[in-house]
């Protein structure tokens, strides 16, 4: 009896999760790569370090997605694949961007858990074992969170702060600041993720939207092994705009609020001028000119136009959500009760 108690105390049984699904587990590692020829082999060598091999006692696969690189990345990847049957390469026909490349890799993954990691060494593979531990303990999504990165430029730093502030204030799902694409998702989350059909996508935004039990792991982001980040400020801006517009509809309505404000103000001022100058005969001696009157009238009309646009936005937003065609809901788990048995 005591042996059983001691065993029960020392073995961690994942809460609320059937043990069998985490036995003999199989992990997929998905890596998008675009023009990484100078660092990819070094990265690969740090990826398959002995710690990880020990931690993945059963099966694992490494899926590289070559996102239309124009350099020798593909050649290096196929070389890696021919030396190791666990390494697989998906070669996209052209550059589709990281988000799509990642999705392509996830769609071909077969593991019980999928880890997404950058190919440039900025996501230390060392902590992958911690991701797996959290998953084994019951987390369905494990998110890598960057500790503040000193090497970043001022624009990127301020920009990212502003981004998260805005993002969390306008969207329904919440994003932790500095959370990255370095993530582990359970196969159940993967299956739900693959149901998304929208084209303009931000992988981490969609994973955040899905919910599920999540855990966070902080890490220090080192500099790239080699090459330059292909995300320039303009590309990042595009990414941010995409995040706002795919995860929130509020930007659509901003202008109707502005319109309503302009209309209201010009209406009040217009009525004031009308009464003060034309009905009461200008007792305050303000002497409004015709140009002033015209100005107020024009801004009143501009306000009306903006409101009309806002109303159109409401219809547009319905079309937008319908076109995104997201699942209505996402089920984590179900439990059925045998009613017949209960009645007896
Ligand atoms: N990447 C990609 N397609 C692209 C741009 C980047 O697959 O069009 C990959 C790149 O090879 C790397 C990861 O996405 O593995 C992150 O890219 P990068 O380091 O340029 O961006 P940042 O670190 O600024 O997020
Ligand atoms: Mg990088």
Q: How far is the CA of 119 from the centre of ligand 1 (A)?
A: 7
Question: Which ligand sits nearest to residue 118's alpha carbon?
Answer: 1
Q: What is the pLDDT of residue 18?
A: 44
For residue range 138-157, list pLDDT tens digits in order: 889 999 988 865 566 777 77
For residue range 287-322, list pLDDT tens digits in order: 888 888 898 899 999 999 988 888 888 888 888 888
Ligand 1 near 269 CB (within 6 A): no
**CA nearest 205: which of 188, 232, 180?**
180
Q: What is the pLDDT of residue 107?
A: 95
Q: In the sheet that 59-66 helps form, which strands lie side by side, from edge to edge?
A: 87-91, 59-66, 26-33, 113-116, 179-186, 141-146, 214-219
Q: What is the pLDDT of residue 268?
A: 93
Q: How far is the CA of 192 from the centre of ligand 1 (A)?
A: 24
CA distance 131 to 137: 10
Using the predicted structure, report yes or no on whether residue 38 has a pLDDT greater than 90.
no
Ligand 1 near 181 CB (within 6 A): no
**According to DSSP H, which parts of the chain are helical?**
2-10, 40-47, 50-55, 73-83, 98-107, 128-136, 154-170, 187-193, 203-210, 233-247, 250-273, 290-324, 339-343
- What does R_g of the chain's alpha carbons equal in angstroms? 28
Using the predicted structure, report yes or no on whether residue 195 has a pLDDT greater than 60.
yes
Higher pLDDT: 174 or 137? It is 137
Least confident of 4-8, 29-33, 42-46, 118-122: 4-8
Using the predicted structure, report yes or no on whether residue 280 has a pLDDT greater than 50.
yes
Q: Please compute, for residue 147, the number of CA atoms within 13 A of its CA located in the half-sphere on the CB side.
A: 9
The two three-digit tokens of residue 264, written as one number? 């209201």
Mean pLDDT in residue range 222-233: 70
Q: What is the pLDDT of residue 150?
A: 58
Average pLDDT, the chain: 82
Mean pLDDT in residue range 38-54: 79
Higher pLDDT: 215 or 156? It is 215
Q: How far is the CA of 146 from the centre of ligand 2 (A)?
A: 12
Q: How far is the CA of 15 from the centre of ligand 2 (A)?
A: 35
Task: Assign residue 215 a region (left: φ > 0; alpha: ψ between -120 and 50; beta: otherwise).
Answer: beta
Q: What is the pLDDT of residue 14?
A: 45
Contact status, residue 84 vs residue 186, Cβ threshold 8 Å: no
Using the predicted structure, report yes or no on whether residue 334 has a pLDDT greater than 80.
no
What does the CA dihedral 301, 304, 308, 309 come to, rounded to 10 degrees? 70
Rounded to 5°, angle at Cα 319 from 315 and 320: 110
Nearest CA to ligand 1 atom 19: 229
Using the predicted structure, report yes or no on whether residue 12 has a pLDDT greater than 80.
no
Mean pLDDT in residue range 188-203: 89
Using the predicted structure, report yes or no on whether residue 79 has a pLDDT greater than 70.
yes
Ligand 1 near 149 CB (within 6 A): no
Q: How far is the CA of 186 from the centre of ligand 2 (A)?
A: 24
Higher pLDDT: 22 or 89? It is 89
Per DSSP, the three-state class of 27 is strand
Pocket test for ligand 1, best of 32, 151, 201, 242 (most atoms within 8 A of CB): 32
Q: What is the pLDDT of residue 15?
A: 45
Q: What is the pLDDT of residue 20?
A: 39
Q: What is the pLDDT of residue 267?
A: 92
Ligand 1 near 43 CB (within 6 A): no
Q: What is the pLDDT of residue 320?
A: 84
Mean pLDDT in residue range 211-217: 89
Pocket test for ligand 1, best of 46, 100, 120 (most atoms within 8 A of CB): 120
Q: What is the pLDDT of residue 6?
A: 58
């Amino acid at each position: 009896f005591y042996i059983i108690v001691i065993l029960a105390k020392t073995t961690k049984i994942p809460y609320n999760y059937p043990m069998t699904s985490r036995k003999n587990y199989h992990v997929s590692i998905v890596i998008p790569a675009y023009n990484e020829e100078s660092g990819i082999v070094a990265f690969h060598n740090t990826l398959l370090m002995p710690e990880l091999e020990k931690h993945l006692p059963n099966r694992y696969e490494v899926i590289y997605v070559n996102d239309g690189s124009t350099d020798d990345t593909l050649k290096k990847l196929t070389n890696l694949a021919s030396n190791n049957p666990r390494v697989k390469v998906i070669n996209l026909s052209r550059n589709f961007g990281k988000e799509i490349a990642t999705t392509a890799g996830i769609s071909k993954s077969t593991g019980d858990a999928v880890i997404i990691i950058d190919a440039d060494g900025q996501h230390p593979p060392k902590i992958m074992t911690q991701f797996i531990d959290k998953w084994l303990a019951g987390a369905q999504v494990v998110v890598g969170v960057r500790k503040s990165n000193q090497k970043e430029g001022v624009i990127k730093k301020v920009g990212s702060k502003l981004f998260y502030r805005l993002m969390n204030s306008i969207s329904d799902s919440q994003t932790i600041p500095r959370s990255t694409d370095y993530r582990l998702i359970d196969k159940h989350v993967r299956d739900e993720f693959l149901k998304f059909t929208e084209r303009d996508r931000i992988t981490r935004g969609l994973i955040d939207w899905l919910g599920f039990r999540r855990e966070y792991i902080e890490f220090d982001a080192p500099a790239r092994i080699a090459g330059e980040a292909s995300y320039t400020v303009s590309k990042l801006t595009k990414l941010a705009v995409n995040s706002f517009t795919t995860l929130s509809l509020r930007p659509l309505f901003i202008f109707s609020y502005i319109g309503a404000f302009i209309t209201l103000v010009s209406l009040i001022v217009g009525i004031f001028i009308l009464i003060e100058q034309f009905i009461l005969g200008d007792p305050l001696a303000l002497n409004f000119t015709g140009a002033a009157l015209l100005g107020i009238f024009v801004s009143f009309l501009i306000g009306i136009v903006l409101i009309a646009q806002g109303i159109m936005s409401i219809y547009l937003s319905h079309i937008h959500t319908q076109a995104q065609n997201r699942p209505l809901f996402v089920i984590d788990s179900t439990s059925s009760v045998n009613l017949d048995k209960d009645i007896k």
